[in-house]
Structure formats: C-alpha cells, structure tokens
Amino acid sequence: MSTIFATDFIDMSFDSSSVLVVGTVAFDSIKTPFGSRERIVGGAGTYIGWSASQMGVSAGLVSVIGDDFPAAEVDAMKEAGMMFDGVEKKAGERSFFWSGSYHMDMNGRDTLETELNVLAAFEPVIPQDWKGAKWLMLGNIDPKLQMSVLDQLDNRPEIVVLDTMNFWMDIAMEPLKAVIARVDVLTINDEEARQLSGERSLVKAARCILGMGPRYLIIKKGEHGAMLFHADGGELEYFYCPALPLEDVVDPTGAGDTFAGGVIGHLAAQRKTDFSTMKEAVVMGSALASFTCEAFGTEGIRSVSKAALNARVEAFRKMTVWNESRVERPVTV
C-alpha cells in the first residue's frame, strides 16, 4: 500500500519560480578518515532541495520514501521551502539506503552497501499543479524515469538541468542520449564527459556533447572546481570556477547535488538563463557545495546564513580576480 503526502501537509504553493526536483530522498551511512555517521538523511533530491532553498526559491520534490523516513526531517525540509506533494510514502517498506567509505584523499570512495528498497519500483508522478514547471532539475536516476518526467509536463520548462553518471552510460547509453537531447544543461564529471563523447580533450568533448542538444555543459572536477561550456553559434564559450580551498573537508557526499541545486536555484531566483547568469550560478553552486563538504550529510548546507554565503561568494571573487583596478586597454607583453 502506498500514499501521497496530502496537500494539508503543505503550507506553500508551487509557483513560477519554484524548482521541480526529481531525485532520491534517502539514508546514507558514511565513513571518512575523519569520522563516520550511520543512517543519516541523504539522497540527491534532499541535497538539491536544501541547496535550492538557500537561493530563496521553493522546491517541489518528486521521490519515494518508506515509512522509516523520520517525520521530523520532513518537517524541517518543509519549513526550509520544500514541498512533498510529489513524494510517495510506501507503508511497511524501507527508504533507499547507501553506505560508503572514503579514501584518505577524500576523492575516491568505495560503495559498501546499496539497498534499493522503495526505489526499486519507483515511478515518478508529477502533481497536476506542477506540470507547468519552468525550472526542472532531473537528479541522477534511470534515464527512462527522467524521460517519463519530461513527457508528463504540459510545456517545455525555461530550463531543464540533467545530472547523470557513468553507470547509466554503461548500461543505458541510448536512452540517456535521448534524454540529453531534450535538456538545456548537462552536469557530469570529466571522465563521464570523455566516456560520453569518446574524446580525451575536454574542449573537444564539450563540442561533441553540446552537439547532442544541451545549451550548456558543466563538467565537475571535484576539488579542482567546475567548467562551464556554451556553444554560441560556431564559437565555444567557456568559464572555469575553481573550488574554494577548505581547511577541513569532512564529508563530500552530496556536494555535486548541492552544486546542481545551487545552479538551478540561482537561475530560478534570477529568472534568467543567459551565459552571464549561468556563470553566476556556477559560482553560487560551488559556494554552497563548499558548505556541504565541511560537515556530515546535510548538516553543512541546511544551516547556511545569508551572511556566510555572501562571504564565501566574495572569497570566490577575490580568488579569481587577478587585478582589482579597471583595465582600460588590452594587456600586452
């Protein structure tokens, strides 16, 4: 037996700036060289929702949970601006669970256990009032499910951001390419970009992938930041945002999802999708992801103040501006 969270559980409405988020709401057990946590709240949809809410926009979640998911966590997410009309709760079943252990450099990790549980039979259903969404974030799930979400919408959104991974490239490349052809922004890491394109050069990979349909490609490089590519006619535009150096990286789980939530949250808040705004969004996503890395689970991202976020964005500006004075003419050597 399954139920949908009733609308009386929600005290907000889905509007033109709300982000539609499709992704997991789950539990993680995490071990790093600096500590561990057991069965803490995680999942792509969770991190994306928390991050987007930091941009001052609401997020409508489409996911599935078991009856083991704590009501207190749902209340906290709701209070932060997340709506649960699209979250299916399956009675007598357990939520998706992942367990992993990070290496000393915090870049590599080993998956210790994965329990699909309710996710095994997940079929996303978009609430009727959300089918006109202008801002859509497709989290890292089966491409066939991502396509089903696109097919349920009344109109094409202002922007669709897609996150995926090498697992789907290995087992579902053609369905994945079909989804990529219908999105505006694709976020993947550098090795995934090479696998998808068949090119070793990231510039050549970007040209190839942008030719598949997206307007923008974001290549995530972990502790080395992120690269944004855009094909303006025949000319390739690009922007590089480094990662902020952190004194303590406690747990990088969810950093990529936090980044994606910051990107689409900023676009929705600004209601613009031009290249300049995209660059701002990449910086904002990177700043938010840095908070996630500083604590276990969602502890870092859920408590970010506006002052702290502004200070971190300013740190990015100082790190990337090479000359504070205005340059009146081209620099020559």
* Lookup: tokens for 210: 């942008």
**Distance between CA atoms of 281 and 291, rounded to whole angstroms?**
16
Which residue's structure tokens are 């979250």?
87
In a domain, 325, yes or no: no
173: left (phi over 0), alpha (psi -120 to 50) or beta: alpha
For 7, the 3-state DSSP assignment is: helix
Q: How many CB atoms lie within 10 A of CB 131?
A: 13
Element (H, E) at 71: helix 71-80
- The helix or strand, by DSSP H or E, that contains position 86, with its residue range, turns out to be strand 82-90
Q: What is the pLDDT of residue 4?
A: 39
Helix 71-80 crosses helix 44-53 at what angle (to 10 degrees)? Answer: 40
- What is the pLDDT, as a whole number, of residue 320? 86
Q: Is residue 333 part of a domain?
A: no
Does 331 reside within a domain?
Answer: no
For residue 325, the 8-state DSSP code is S
Q: Which two tokens stand for residue 274?
A: 């031009």
Residue 64's DSSP bridge partners are 88
Q: What is the mean pLDDT of each run of 10 residues along the chain (333 residues)?
A: 37 87 98 96 98 96 97 96 97 97 91 96 96 97 97 97 96 97 97 97 97 97 94 89 93 96 97 97 97 96 94 93 62 44
Q: What is the CATH classification number for the domain harbouring 37?
A: 3.40.1190.20
Any residues with CB less than 8 A from the CB of 279 and at least 6 apart, and which?
Answer: 228, 239, 241
As a whole number of angstroms, the distance between CA 160 and CA 138 comes to 7
**Total of domains in the chain:** 1
Does some domain include residue 278? Answer: yes
The pLDDT value recorded for residue 326 is 57
Q: Closest Cα to residue 122, out of 172, 66, 201, 177? A: 66
For position 3, what pLDDT does the model report?
Answer: 38
Q: Can you give the pLDDT at residue 232?
A: 81
Query: CA torsion angle for 63, 68, 71, 76 (degrees, to 10)?
Result: -60
In a domain, 161, yes or no: yes
Identify the CA nearest to 292 among candidates 283, 305, 301, 284: 301
Pair 90, 2: CB distance under 8 Å: yes
C-alpha span between 279 and 281 (Å, rounded): 5
Asked if 46 contacts 25 with a C-beta cutoff of 8 angstroms, the reply is yes
Range of the domain at 205: 2-320
